[in-house]
Amino acid sequence: MRMWYVYLIECRNGSWYAGITNDLEARYAAHVSGKGARYTRANPPVKLLGARPFPDRSAASRAEHEVKRLPKSKKLAWLGDQSGSV
């Protein structure tokens, strides 16, 4: 069974992009090559800030929604929180 991940990317303009994937390396490579999300095509990635695993797509989607609502100052702490809370 493949894990799903919520990931954060730092973009060239200083913003952070959050997304989900079940293949982190391939998805980040797509963002870097300009074949990822529309947002990262316009604001190219500088680096992958990190990712947090989830057991399925549904859980990852819910977590992505929650992390996008957090202030930027709390997003890195959220990445490091493996307790399961969002």
pLDDT tens by residue, 17-66? 999 999 999 999 999 999 999 999 999 999 999 999 999 999 999 999 99
Encode pLDDT of 1-30 as tens digits: 789 999 999 999 999 999 999 999 999 999
pLDDT given for residue 46 in this prediction = 96
User: What's the rounded Cα separation, in Å, for the pair 74 and 51?
Assistant: 14
Residue reference for tokens 């990635």 = 45
Q: Are 32 and 44 in contact (CB under 8 A)?
A: yes
0.85 exceeded by pTM: yes
Confidence band (pLDDT; 50, 70, 90) for 81?
Answer: confident
Q: What Å distances lie between residue 17 and 10, 46, 84, CA to CA?
A: 6, 11, 21
